[in-house]
Chain A
Amino acid sequence: MEVNQTYFSLNTTNSNHDYVLSVRGVSKFFGSITALKEVDLDVRKKEIHVLLGENGAGKTTLVNILYGIYRPDSGVINVFGKDVRIGSPRDAISYGIVLVQQHPMLIDKMTVAENLSISFRKLGYFKSPKIIKELIREYSSRYGISVDVDALVSNLSFSEKQEVELIRALLLDVKLLILDEPTTMLTSYERRKLFSVLRGLIDEGRSVLLITHKVVEALEISDWITVLRRGEVVASRPKNAYSVDELVKLVVGESIRAEPIVSEDFSPGNSVRRPEVLSVKDLTVVNDAGGIAVRGVSLDINSGEVVGIAGVSGNGQKELSEALAGLRKVKGGKILICGLDVTNRGPGDRVRAGFAYIPEERLRYGVIGEMNVAENFMLKNHKSFSKYGLILEKDVVESVEEGIKAFNIVTRGPSEKVKALSGGNIQKLIVARELRSNPKVILAHNPTLGLDLKSAVLVRELLIKARSNGSGILLISEDLDEVLTLSDRVVVMYRGSIVYETSRTTASRDVLERAMLGLVNV
């Protein structure tokens, strides 16, 4: 550690600035797409620098370049006053740069200690990773992070995995820690904890580059904000030099409504009795470990109604939504779609009965990454796009292009592979596909997770529109505000059961939050 420090201070003396990182004119093209165009970025010592931008703005691409995962097509990267070529994550690490990616980058089948040992450069190749356990314990207590060194990574929660990655960065004596949308999957408690760890790192003289698409979050945590839009830097100033409105405008390029429009007929508890489209009776589902994840849940959803399930993640929402979608076996109870018993039928039968699914795990259940945008778009609508079993190429392309426009999907076109799309754009593609067929029931699980403001508003508007067209919607979301704005009825899930139910008009945020923590009983 000592050696490293002198190494870095030697280099900084050559530079007149206090810059840890200085990027000049970096561009990156993926085929005909310009992901980054002449980007400049300066990160100072002891600074929390936020990189703000909407979906597809190029944030992930930029930090992937800084971590050596992608190569820039042009531009210079300067670290501690020295021009460097970052050809691989190993190079980046040797310059003191560590990236914590959007999805945890750890080997699931190995333990925490094993994962960290691989990463620890000072450990000889034929040394036992045991030595590292002591170090991990020391670091975790110093920074107030608790990790079980012998735990298998696959058994850790998202935030625990993130903590392991933080420890990893610290073991590597990180100078510039980069985090790609670290808060998306965190509860507000975990988020606060993360931020306090980050502040601790700053105090020690390290720097942080944090990515987010949430304006409020950027203002809360940062010292400096750089705004990226469609691959270009549109502003870079100290936090205090921005006003909220201005920042929002800079991010999306135009002013937008922050709340989704609520159509006139949005009157909860309508007097007209609508037919039931989804009926769940006494449903019991087990999780991967064999424990009961959903216990005796009963729900009825009428046509033209949104029922929101609020709850802290990990209280059975995942298992419930997978069971409803036919992706997970049901242990007991019944699921009826428009009166048809689909309990033990596959997803195909549900789709035919009028069921649409906007999954949480997009890449796993929502799209086929290797197939292109058009192919993914017609996955569920083959019939309407084919004649005598042959695909009507022209119809597909037309309607995909329509979808791309309507949903503002950033893509090179219908023939681009889906895995090349940014996370937010993949989600928009799924929503466009699912809503196209006028479904009777829509199951939306965290439908706006990872979406920027504009896309989130768009998705919410579309859900409300589907509701006006008579769809019954089950919304499972960790975002309480989302549940409150969209739902006619709200139920709270806690430890696999529904513990509280209320209508939108009578819902109180406070009571709901208490119920989410299991402090209220029906």
Chain B
Amino acid sequence: MIDTFLVGNFIFLTLKNAVPLVLASVGEVIAERSGIINLGVEGSMVVGALVGVAVTLMSGNYLLGFAVGGLAGLLLASIHGFITVVFGANQIVSGIAVTMTGLGLTALLGRGYVGRSLYGLRPSPLYPYDVGVPDYLKPLLAALVRHDIIVYLSIIIPLLATWLLFKTKYGNSVRACGESPSVAESLGINVILIRFSAVLLGGFLAGLGGAYLSLGIVGTWVENITAGIGWIAVGLVAFSMWMPVRVLMASYIMAALISMSYILQGKVGVSSYFLAMIPYIGTIMILTIVNVERFKLKLGAPTALGRPYIREERLG
């Protein structure tokens, strides 16, 4: 007989742990579709996590904390936007600098919040009762229904992003900027505006992901709370071939791996060293793809990914 409690727990954790990954990755898909690679995702997440905690403690409203956490991520991403979109500087260097800034800033400003519990202010399950179900199935049902609203939101967001990218004029414009900014410009698009907005949107989603990490999963603020999750999110983008719905699936696989290591702690399972390594593998992968033209083509990456757009250059 299967241990339904264990399986239920595993599913429950997987769905929850996937939320920060889904949000941040989908955000990065949007930014990269516009041609801008943002390695500041980790930074936006960690800032979102701290601001989320701070605002929730102050206001007593976790939804407000969640939203303002997103805005904080957006604000940090705007630095990357100015450096890379407006001034056309190197995207890799800028992104790493932004992440460093986010990590450093939160370590400094977050001291007063370390360990302050959010008990009672955390998102609560939408449907807390599992009535009318045989006992042994309860853990399985609970794993699916006893989540807070944000978990369900995180499933809808990739669908929304797909609609945005492929079914609206805004999305077409974003993709055009990622394929060829000079053609996009000639078609009448304001390339700077579109790219900048895509980076901001990406930062906002990363900030939300970070806020859920502290509010929904950890339940408090700790320094360097993201521990590389932002880097994994960036890696998932290429793994999902820049498709939001695939991001959802890839995030579940990743989250399952992480949840497994919690559940099987001490017993056999994935080595924690291996998990700690994943962010770096993801980063190396991304850098390889961006720099090797051939990989870019094969994976269906946006053609102009990572290339700054500077006007008044000769066009072909």
Contact = CB atoms under 8 A, between A and B. Distances in A.
Interface of A: 67, 69-71, 88-90, 93, 99, 101, 103, 105-110, 114-115, 117-121, 123-129, 168, 172, 363, 369, 419-420
Contacts of B173: 118, 125
Contact of B169 (A88, A127, A172): A127
Q: Which bucket holds chain B's interface residue count?
A: 20 to 34
Interface of B: 164, 167-170, 172-173, 175-176, 179-180, 182-190, 303, 311-316
Nearest to A423: B316
Given A103-B316, A118-B172, A125-B168, A109 B187 contact: no
23 contacts: A69-B185, A69-B186, A70-B312, A89-B186, A89-B187, A93-B188, A99-B186, A105-B182, A105-B186, A106-B187, A107-B176, A107-B179, A107-B183, A107-B184, A110-B176, A115-B187, A118-B173, A118-B184, A120-B169, A123-B169, A125-B170, A125-B173, A128-B167
A419 B167 CA distance: 36
Given A69-B312, A126-B168, 20 more contacts: A70-B312, A71-B312, A88-B190, A89-B185, A99-B186, A103-B316, A106-B183, A107-B176, A107-B179, A107-B184, A107-B187, A109-B175, A115-B172, A117-B172, A118-B187, A119-B188, A120-B169, A121-B188, A123-B169, A125-B169
A125 B190 CA distance: 12
A110 B175 contact: yes
A493 to B, nearest CB: 27
Nearest to A418: B314
A101 B185 contact: no
Contacts of B311: 69
Contacts of B182: 105
Contacts of A125: 168-170, 173
A168 B184 CA distance: 13
Given A70-B312, A121-B188, A128 B183 contact: no
A108 B170 CA distance: 18
Given A126-B169, A127-B168, A419-B314, A67 B189 contact: no
Name the residue in B172, B183, B303 with the highest tally of chain A Cβ atoms < 10 Å from its Cβ. Answer: B172
Contacts, number: 87
Nearest to B189: A118
Given A70-B312, A108-B179, A118-B176, A101 B186 contact: yes
Nearest to A132: B169
A475 B268 CA distance: 70
Given A103-B316, A107-B176, A110-B179, A129 B186 contact: no
Contacts of A103: 315-316
A129 B312 contact: no
Nearest to B300: A109
A118 B169 contact: yes
Contacts of A129: 167-169, 172
Contacts of B189: 90, 118
Contacts of A101: 186, 315
B177 to A, nearest CB: 10
B190 A90 contact: yes
A71 B189 CA distance: 17
Contacts of B167: 128-129
A369 B173 CA distance: 27
User: Ordered nearest first, which 10 A-B pairs have the shortest CB separation?
Assistant: A105-B186, A125-B170, A119-B187, A105-B183, A107-B179, A114-B172, A419-B314, A93-B188, A118-B172, A107-B176
Name the residue in B164, B167, B183, B311 with the highest tally of chain A Cβ atoms < 10 Å from its Cβ. Answer: B183
A69 B173 CA distance: 18
Nearest to A362: B316
A96 to B, nearest CB: 12
A302 B10 CA distance: 76
A419 B310 CA distance: 15
A88 B188 CA distance: 8
A126 B179 contact: no
A105 B169 contact: no
B186 A117 contact: no
A103 B316 CA distance: 8
Name the residue in B168, B173, B303 with the highest tally of chain A Cβ atoms < 10 Å from its Cβ. Answer: B168
Contacts of B183: 105-107
Contacts of B316: 103, 363
A119 B176 CA distance: 11
Given A110-B175, A110-B176, A419-B314, A105 B170 contact: no
A117 B174 CA distance: 12
A67 B186 contact: yes
Contacts of B184: 107, 118
B169 A124 contact: yes
A109 B179 contact: yes
A99 B185 CA distance: 12
Contacts of A88: 185, 190
Contacts of A126: 164, 168-170
A369 B316 CA distance: 9
A103 B190 CA distance: 21
A117 B184 CA distance: 12
B315 A69 contact: yes
A110 to B, nearest CB: 7
B313 to A, nearest CB: 8
A400 B311 CA distance: 30
A73 B315 CA distance: 19
A81 B314 CA distance: 30
Contacts of A105: 182-183, 186-187
Contacts of A172: 188
Nearest to A94: B188
Name the residue in A71, A103, A129, A172 with the highest tally of chain B Cβ atoms < 10 Å from its Cβ. Answer: A129
A120 B172 CA distance: 12
A119 B173 CA distance: 9
Contacts of A419: 313-314
Nearest to B173: A118
B166 to A, nearest CB: 9
A71 B312 CA distance: 8
A240 to B, nearest CB: 35
A363 B316 CA distance: 7
Contacts of A114: 172
B160 to A, nearest CB: 11
Nearest to A115: B187
A107 B314 contact: no
Contacts of B186: 67, 69, 89, 99, 101, 105
Nearest to A90: B188
B168 A107 contact: no
Contacts of B188: 89-90, 93, 118-119, 121, 172
A107 B175 CA distance: 9
Contacts of B303: 109
A99 B169 CA distance: 21
A172 B186 CA distance: 13
A121 B188 CA distance: 8
Nearest to A417: B314
A120 B168 CA distance: 12
B140 to A, nearest CB: 39
Nearest to A121: B188
A117 B169 contact: yes
A115 B173 CA distance: 9
